[in-house]
Structure 1
Amino acid sequence: MFPAFLDLASLKAAYAGGLSPLDLVEEVIARIEASDDPAIFISRTPADDLRQAARDLLARAPEANSLLLWGVPFAVKDNIDVAGLPTTAACPAFAYQPERDATVVARLKAAGALVIGKTNLDQFATGLNGTRSPYGAPRSVFDSAYVSGGSSSGSAVSVASGLASFALGTDTAGSGRVPAAFNNLVGIKPTPGLVPNVGVVPACRSVDVVTVFAGTVGDGVAIRRVMDGYDAADPFSKVAKPARLPVSGLRIGVLAADEREFYGNAAYEALYDAAIERAKALGAEIVPFDYAPFRLAAELLYSGPWVAERLAAVKDFIASNAADFDPTVRTIISGATAYGAVDAFEGLYKLEALRQKTLVEWQKADVLMLPTSPTTYTVEAMLADPIAKNGHFGRYTNFANLFGYAAIAIPAGFDADGHLPAGITLFGLSFCDDALAPFADAMHRALAAGMGRERTAALPEASKVAEPDDGLVSIVVVGAHLTGMLLNHELTGSGGKLVKACRTAGDYRLYALPNTTPPKPGLIRDPGFSGKGLAVEVWRVTPEAFGRFVQNIPAPLGIGKITLDDGSQVSGFLCEPYALEGAREITDLGGWRAYIAELKARNG
């Protein structure tokens, strides 16, 4: 009755089947009580209050389809205010009782979501590992010896464990992405300013972002959209100016060989390479880029004057309560006293100079794809070397908010023995948040890593992110219209765009039709035949060009739906079976290009 992973689609289906939010509340309470990780929550919504919140929801909106997040349970990082629960930022002496919800929490509640509790974090959101809290260290849901990632540690673990449908985190240096990677989740990091920070304890106020942990990209984006919107009470709030990305032929920037660093973790490097190959199979053009200016900017966040902004957030409290700080957090924040006003301006100048260098790299790529974290560590190893090893986690994350980028972190699969997960992150320029989502979702589905602890779970079709409509029509070509072949100009000349080279499903056969000039292929589907699939290309053309193709196709060819090796169906060239009499079957060659090469070799 209750889905193991509480994604939005599964929960909606359960509600449609008769489940009540009151039933779900009881299940969530039971799951929390049975959890084997006592460090996930700092405070919980009292059970009776949670039941009353469900009753209030039913009184306000009795129907499951009346609100987008009707009856959806969520957790909140404990540096984000929730009325009725204390905000501690993982420092008991700092705790206060907020009078009202943070803007993002209020918007989510208005959409029908139910707060189940406040989650643990690296104190004052200073860290990427999850061990810097007096409330304990949440652990990876796959191996309790390993860190959960931070600073949004409890938020990620609550979702990955099936306790919450989604959770809020914050991200200054990667805190909304690294825990997602270590717990096999999606992490949505909005463009700074897109989501308001009113009611959020700041880490670095000028670059902080509220983030979402969810099971799918579709869920995360839907939740983020509920939180979006300008708030004049936040001095860094911005009016969104949505940016677009190419629908096809997306150029993906990946690490050049000399900028790769995985700190000896060959398994994570192999998963990154596999993700690159998967992106290529989805039609992306892979472009190595120079990561150096991004890396140098990343170093400014903790090894430059931006650390002084962390001191600005807590300067009065640390002056009187330094002993109440986690020792590592205190060391980092106290280091801000080494920087003065001149250093701050010089740091800003350096950042802007690096930004100019990154613009050269952005001319090469539409999107950057990087490892979310190059490695992971046990809790024991992290505590033995807390600053250097924490820094390893931020190698490919720290630059994002300094440059104002949007990012979506997704699961990339598990190491060779299926032990620990890794992740990749897709980055886009400011306000590419929605534009990043379709490809991020396609990658998550193609990498087939599941959701949280449910590593074999199929991602619900209902959460699939649709491609934006570019007004073009997809078509599969198998013969002379392939790239570099005799009739390819009919596609390129009408503005056609190559989406991807791929293969058909395994039950297709290919023939060289007799008495045709130029030679023409005959593609048919033979249910029951088990082959390796045939090499084809998917192109996008204007409706007018598609119409011309259909009108000019000579018999015995026609247009029908072709099933590809990823299960999708696209219109393409098929042949009527009667025309195969006397035709040579060339299925074993794997495609038309190989057949033409054979002809050329035979004829000299």
Structure 2
Amino acid sequence: MTEVTTGIGWNLNDWGRAYRNGADARGLLLSTRNAIAADELDANGLPRRGSAWIALASEEQLTKQISYLESLKASAEEEGTVLPLYGVPFAVKDNIDAADFHTTAACPEYAYEPDDDAFVVQLLRKAGAIVMGKTNLDQFATGLVGTRSPYGAVNNAFNPEYISGGSSSGSATAVAKGQVAFALGTDTAGSGRVPAGFNHIVGLKATVGAISASGVVPACRSLDCVSVFALNSRDAERIYEIAAQFDPADGYARSRTMVRNERIQTLGVPADAPWFGDDVQKAAYEKACEQAVDAGFELKTIDFTPLFELASLLYQGPWVAERYAAVGEFLKQDLPGINPVVKNIIAGGVDGTAVDAFKAEYRRKDLVRQIQSIFKTVDALFVPTAPRFPTMADVDAAPVEVNSQLGTYTNFVNLADLCALSLPAHMRTDGLPFGITVIAPGWHELALTNFAGQWQSHLGLAEAPVMLGKKDDASVVVAVVGAHLTGMPLNHQLTSRHATLLEQTLTANKYQLYALANTVPPKPGLVRLNEEDLKCGKVAGNQLIVELWRLDQAAFGSFVEEIPQPLGIGTLELEDGRLVKGFICEPEAVASATNISHLGGWRAYISSLNA
């Protein structure tokens, strides 16, 4: 069994590797919890001012969850299934219910203890994840600044003089500090993207209704989304695939629509981007555009007028009335924990009329039709996550104005039924993070995460390998080892099906590779060795180079039909323990083949032939 350490700074892949290497979940999770407590809690065991946390799980709460995890593990072993998030800690924004924790929405007087988990928390716990605690936020999820909380303004992970962004401030900074592998936020006007951009992490805002909002304190119920923060886009994608299950109890939940795994190539950029005096942010975006072109993407200048007009409707139109419908009557009380800025904003929800609401909805529909035409000319929008990076002092001086500016590229997304992914870019010239956001039509989440892989690879940013458990029907990841590799004769069978290259990696040390006789074009055969023969040293295994490609389900089916005997598709084990679909070969075919395992991969063999 491995020595117990902490999981600070670990992504999903790191946690999975630790458990595969024998780490004890109880010891590892408790030590991680105690490491967080040492940084975040005061002598009385309460979160310090500026902390990401409103409530960190006690050792008793953690022990209770670990007991549940052990029962899940026993059931999974009995059924022959896996827990894709076994023992992975995550944080929950404190407007999302988690049983055994109070929900405060960052207002102490509003606090209640829910009987059950929110639907999304329930799904993640059933997958093996552990709630490490509840995180701070702009009160009632009203704000993009991260300062509107009686529990204190959340410190930016890079520089406490600058805002962390909101409203999901605590969830974003907990991930940025490496305290949890991922976190849940909410996103109505940008709350799941702005703090990601300000803290150099990934923020995924899925299509409205894709992830259930049951058990979430509403902001604008018709627009609210549960968002995902992660250290890399592959982790965000994995959480999305687990969390995006239809919830019949949520009237706004929607069943996922099958969308072809399209490749993003043409990016729309704003013709006249406002920067509100932040020239450093402007320069960072210009550099990001240059990098996008260098990475092979095409930029197309777009008139953002309908997008900006739609954004203005969110707070200047009748949708503020939804916020009043949720908590307005509560805020009418004169309670010390109520933030005055939040109270004033939501109080404006009673000013409109039903006629105003219909007029605004008519205008929204007209603008959405114009926006849909934009996506006939570009695959996605490529924008700064925020047009400026304000300090705490900037927000104190003009709290409403600065907040409004931060929603320039976020407020319109849910109103237009789009999905979005905030990604780290390079650091600004002053050392602060800069983030870009890619925005696409609804249900194009996989296209966004595939773009993210290309983007981060080009910039040299850390991107963990894909965490693969049970995949949904939308796509399949397949490992190729020979003639289907990039640049090889049969690679067109993948690219013609719009497959996306995810990564190059290695198999587990359990295989041998053969050059098959009399195949055109030349093809290899990959054979898995017998476990008992490996253990007793009768044969030696090899780690071999493979590429992972993603195809949608229909494309995968037609791809498999083209595979000739003696080859086929089976299950392949990678060096880090992941299981993927991959090429296998019938053992009889290697009798006349040449063992080329010592070369480490097919490219080296082809190079040796050419030499």
* Contact 2:202/2:424, CA 8 A, preserved across alignment: yes
Q: Counterparts in 2 of 1:104-123, with a 5 A limit? A: 104-123=120-139
Secondary structure, counterpart of 1:287 in structure 2: strand
User: What CA distance in whole angstroms lies between the structure 1 residues aligned with 2:14 and 2:420?
Assistant: 25
1:151-230 superposed matches below 5 A: 151-230=167-246
CA shift at 1:320, angstroms?
3.6
Map of 2:288 onto structure 1: 275
Find the aligned partners of 1:166 and 1:177 in 2 and give their Cα distance.
Answer: 14
- Could you tell me how far apart the structure 2 residues matched to 1:92 and 1:496 are? 54
Indicate whether 1:374 and 2:387 are aligned: yes
Distance 2:484 2:15 in 1: 34
1:51 aligns with 2:63: yes
The verdict on how the C-alpha distance between 1:202 and 1:473 changes in structure 2, with shifts beyond 3 A counting, is: same
Q: Which amino acid aligns with 2:25?
A: P
Following superposition, the deviation at residue 341 of structure 1 comes to 0.7
Match of 2:464 in 1: 460
What is the match of residue 359 of structure 1? 372
Deviation at 1:375, TM superposition (A): 1.3
Who is 2:310 aligned against?
297
Q: Tell me, what secondary structure is at the counterpart of 2:161? A: strand
Task: Confirm whether residue 83 of structure 1 aligns to residue 87 of structure 2.
Answer: no
Mapping of 1:485-496 within 5 angstroms? none
Give the equivalent residue in structure 1 for 2:267: 252
Q: 1:338 aligns with which of 338, 348, 351?
A: 351
Structure 1 equivalent of residue 21 of structure 2: 17
Q: How many angstroms apart in 2 are the aligned matches of 1:345 and 1:100?
A: 36
Superimposed CA distance per residue, residues 141-176 of structure 1 (whole angstroms, 9 cap, x where no aligned partner): 111111111000111111111211111000000000
**CA distance in 1 between partners of 2:366 and 2:183 (Å):** 36
Mapped to 1, the partners of 2:317 and 2:497 lie a distance apart of 48
Aligned residues of 2:281 and 2:389 also touching (Cα < 8 A): no
Please tell me whether the aligned partners of residues 86 and 98 of structure 1 are also in contact (alpha carbons under 8 angstroms). yes
Matches within 5 A, 1:300-311: 300-311=313-324
CA displacement 1:62-94 (0-9 Å, x = unmatched): 589830000000110000001111111111111
Residue type of the alignment partner of 2:241: R
| 1:535-582 residue CA offsets vs partner (Å, 9 max, x unmatched) | xxxxxxx99xxxxxxxxxxxxxxxxxxxxxxxxx999x999989xxxx
Counterparts of 1:467 and 1:295 in 2: how far apart (Å)?
A: 37
Tell me the SS of whatever aligns to 1:121: coil
- State yes or no: 1:287 paired with 2:300: yes
Per-residue CA distance 1:464-489 (angstroms, 9 max, x = gap): 999978x9978659xxxxxxxxxxxx
Relative to structure 2, which stretch is displaced further, 164-173 or 226-235?
226-235
Pairwise CA distance, 1:56: 3.1
CA distance in 2: counterparts of 1:462 and 1:127, whole angstroms: 33
Q: 1:448-505, CA deviations, whole angstroms, 9 ceiling, x for partnerless residues?
A: 34xxxxxxxx322345999978x9978659xxxxxxxxxxxxx9xx9899x99xxxxx
Q: How many equivalent pairs are there?
A: 486
Q: Does 1:384 align with 2:397?
A: yes
- The residue identity in structure 1 corresponding to 2:163 is V
Paired with 2:9 and 2:136, the residues of 1 have a C-alpha distance of 21
Matched letter for residue 465 of structure 2: E
**1:533 match:** none
Whole-Å separation in 2 of the counterparts to 1:242 and 1:279: 28
Could you say which residue in structure 1 is the equivalent of 2:532?
none
RMSD after superposition = 3.2
CA deviation digits over 1:300-344, x for unaligned, max 9? Answer: 111111111111111331234576521110111111222111111
- 5+ long unaligned stretches in structure 2: 41-46, 502-557, 560-601
The residue type paired with residue 383 of structure 1 is D
User: Relative to structure 1, is the Cα distance of residues 574 and 280 closer, same or farther in structure 2, using a 3 angstrom cutoff?
Assistant: farther
- List alignment gaps of at least 5 residues for structure 1: 450-457, 478-490, 501-541, 544-568, 579-604
Deviation at 1:378, TM superposition (A): 1.5
Q: Distance in 2 between matches of 1:467 and 1:443?
A: 21
Aligned runs of 1:198-597 on 2, under 5 Å?
Answer: 198-244=214-260, 246-247=262-263, 250-256=265-271, 259-321=272-334, 324-417=337-430, 419-449=431-461, 458-463=462-467
Contact 2:328 2:347 in 1 (8 A): no
Deviations 1:89-108 (A, max 9, x none): 11111111111110001111
SS in 2 for 1:210: strand
Contact residue 185 and residue 214 of structure 1 kept, 8 A: yes
Q: What residue is the counterpart of 1:513 in the other structure? A: none
Aligned to 1:139: 155
In the other structure, the counterpart of 1:129 is: 145
Which amino acid is 2:270 matched to? L
The structural deviation recorded for 1:240 is 1.1
**Given residue 21 of structure 2, which amino acid in structure 1 is its aligned partner?**
G
Identity %: 39
Partner SS for 1:175: coil
- 1:16-66 CA-partner distances (Å, limit 9, x unpaired): 222111122222222222225822111222212202322331243158983
Matched residue type, 1:255? P
Q: Is the 8 A contact 2:54 2:151 kept in 1?
A: yes
Taking the aligned partners of 2:467 and 2:126, their CA distance within structure 1 comes to: 21
The one-letter amino acid paired with 2:111 is A
Structure 1 577/20 Cα, relative in aligned 2: closer, same or farther at 3 Å?
Answer: closer
Cross-structure match for 1:40:
52
Q: Alignment partner of 2:162: what SS?
A: strand
**After the TM superposition, which parts of structure 1 deviate over 6 Å for at least 4 consecutive aligned residues?**
464-469, 471-475, 494-497, 573-578
Per-residue deviation at 1:177?
Answer: 0.4
Distance (whole Å) between structure 2 residues aligned to residue 319 and residue 364 of structure 1: 48
The separation in 2 between residues aligned to 1:373 and 1:223, in whole angstroms, is 24
Name the CA shift for 1:190/1:329 in 2 (closer, same or farther; >3 Å): same
CA contact (8 A) 1:153 1:179 kept: yes
* Cα contact 1:25–1:51 (8 A) shared by 2: no
Higher-Rg structure is: 1
Q: Tell me the secondary structure at the aligned position of residue 236 of structure 2.
A: helix
Tell me the distance in 2 between the aligned counterparts of 1:324 and 1:374: 31
Structure-1 separation of matches of 2:115 and 2:165: 30
By how many angstroms is 1:232 displaced?
A: 1.7
Q: State how far apart, in whole Å, the 1-side matches of 2:608 and 2:391 are.
A: 58
Q: Deviation of residue 268 (structure 1)?
A: 2.1
Distance in 2 (alpha carbons) for counterparts of 1:291 and 1:474 = 40
Return the letter of the residue paired with 2:345.
I
